[in-house]
Structure formats: C-alpha cells, structure tokens
C-alpha cells in the first residue's frame, strides 16, 4: 500500500507535533511526491538554528521509521512576508 499524506499526518500528529509544540512550534506539510516529503516549520521552530537537526532527528526519523515509502524528508525554509516587510522598512530607513 502506497503512503498517503493522510498516513504522514497521522504520524506527525502522534509522534512529531507533540514534541514541536513543547517548543512553541508546529509543522506544515507541503507535499509528498516520489517518496519525498516536503514541509515547513512554523512558530518558534521556524528559522530556528536547530531546524535541520530537528528535521533529521525528529521528523525524518519518525516518518521513515513508520512509513518505509518515504525516501527523503526536506525542510523548506522561506522568509515570511511580514519579515520581508520589516526588512524592506529597515532598508528604506537606512538609505536616503
């Protein structure tokens, strides 16, 4: 049976989200194609210096252990629009 996003969400709900919530974070699934699961961290876990370590030791370990169809787990880090707006405002103030 092929792994579905629903299967992934069940593992995340049971084994990953509780750990992240203890640290003020959350996880958002983006896609699962060709054995590759892509996601983003939200909250305090977003842009955390330990994000890649958490990806390997928590997210990837739990998902690969429970769902053998998962070949790779990829953290997609993006800058939020709010942070971009703040940066633009700062840059505008620093340059005449």
Q: What is the CATH number of the domain that holds 51?
A: 3.30.300.130
Partners of 29 in the beta sheet?
39
Helical residues (DSSP H) of 1-96, grouped into ranges: 5-11, 17-21, 51-54, 61-66, 81-94
Average pLDDT estimate for 14-42 = 94
Global model pTM greater than 0.75: yes
pLDDT at 86: 74
pLDDT of residue 75: 92
Tell me the CA distances in angstroms from 84 to 41, 50, 81, 88, 89, one per residue in order: 17, 22, 5, 6, 9
What domain count does the chain have? 1
Residue 18 structural domain? 5-94
45-96 pLDDT, tens per residue? 887 788 888 888 899 999 999 999 999 999 998 666 666 677 778 887 554 4
């Amino acid at each position: 049976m092929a792994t579905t996003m629903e299967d992934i969400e069940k593992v995340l709900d049971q084994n990953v989200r509780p750990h992240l919530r203890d640290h003020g974070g959350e996880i958002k699934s983006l896609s699962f194609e060709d054995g590759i699961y892509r996601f983003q961290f939200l909250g305090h876990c977003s842009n955390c210096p330990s994000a890649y370590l958490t990806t390997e030791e928590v997210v990837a370990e739990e998902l690969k252990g429970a769902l053998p169809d998962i070949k790779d787990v990829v953290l997609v880090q993006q800058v939020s629009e709010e942070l971009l707006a703040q940066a633009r405002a700062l840059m505008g103030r620093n340059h005449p």
